[in-house]
Amino acid sequence: MAKLKIDNRSARRLWLHSQGLGSTPTGPLDLSATIHALGFVQLDTIQVVSRAHHHILWSRNQNYREPMLDRLLAKDRAVFEHFTHDASVLPMEFLPMWRRQFDRMRAYYDRAGWVRGLPDAAERQKIKDRIAREGALSTHAFDTKIEGDRQMWHRPPHKLALDYMWYAGELATCHRVNFTKFYDLAERVFPAHLREAELTEVEQITWLCNAALDRMSFGALGDVQRFWDAVTREEVRAWSDKADLIPVEIQSADGSWVSAVAPADIEQRLAMLTPVTSRLRILNPFDPVIRDRNRLSRLFGFEYRVEMFVPAAKRIWGYYVFPILEGDRFVGRIKVKADRKASCLTVLNLWVEPGVKWTAARAEKLEAELARMARFVGVDSVLWVDQG
């Protein structure tokens, strides 16, 4: 039986619709539903314009504003923080399927060499006892010091202990103040009915793999494994042997074809597929559509890397450069920075992708998006800086 072939444009549209970028980012905002549809939203401390998690959510619905996620975490308890491929927020209802990830992270850090200096179980219990008495505490409530020479990534013992217990699910993020995390006992953050729900390890793996593929519409088994980074390759293979999957061929941007799998309803998805919005959008470097660089390059022919950790002399584009998506095509990248004191969004540079004609209409679309971004971060104007 021949594999179902999905041409490149259809594949791009499937992926963008699956990740919430297929429709115009307007209309009523259901933030919980948006995060549920994405699966998770990556957290990041860097704030060149807006922190990654806020920018990602704003890209899906431009009625979003930054305080909304904080309320969802601290007041509504509709999301929780933990580690996927990086620190992220996930829907609280996913907690029963995330229990093994707490155990995996505990085991990983038990083996990891960098946890030298981690306080022992008795000392960690003292920290938990203090939180039990005083309520949620941040790392600033403790004053242990790094012993020996200071090196990159070395942290004080109390910070190691707090993070270890957070990874292991003993502590949970209660709320944040100016992005500073406050830790509380897990039982005071996670609802009892979700904490007490028991799923077998196989049930959790099955859910994680099905949920990943559902949110991608298609992918190789490696794509499924990397989506949450909460299962192993061997576990994904075992899942695929029993799952109801459709083998497909996906056309890449260069015209070549690669093998993948898709959910059982892939033909229905294709039948209902519509063109994506023609809106031009400035995406965050940590956007889920950008995160998997191989998938990005394969589907869109767009080569992108995050250069904030690259030495300045070796950067091609710059410290923090935003991809520009128009419809189902990446048409450029832009270097922009918010100056809140001056109430200005400053455009430092713009690069147009090869083969893209920068028309007056496209320029107007970019100006409109910059104006919307300025309103999002609460500044009054957009300033283009002439760098020759």
The pLDDT tens digits for 76-133 are 999 999 999 999 999 999 999 999 999 999 998 888 755 677 888 999 999 999 999 9
Q: Which pLDDT value is given to residue 339?
A: 95
Name the token pair of 208.
Answer: 């994680």
Q: What is the pLDDT of residues 338-354, one digit of tens each?
A: 999 999 999 999 999 99
**What secondary structure does DSSP assign to 166-224, as a single string?**
HHTTSEEEEEEETTEEEEEEHHHHS-HHHHS----HHHHHHHHHHHHHHHHSSB-HHHH
**Nearest-angstrom CA–CA distance, 340 and 374:** 10
Q: Which pLDDT value is given to residue 386?
A: 72
Predicted TM-score (pTM) of this structure? 0.94
Q: Which pLDDT value is given to residue 161?
A: 94
**Nearest-angstrom CA–CA distance, 78 and 191:** 10
Instruction: Label residues 151-163 b or e (16+ Cβ within 10 Å = b).
Output: eeeebbbbebbbb
Counting as low any pLDDT under 70, the low residues of the chain are: 1, 113-115, 145-154, 387-388
Degrees to nearest 5, angle at CA 75 with 74 and 78: 80
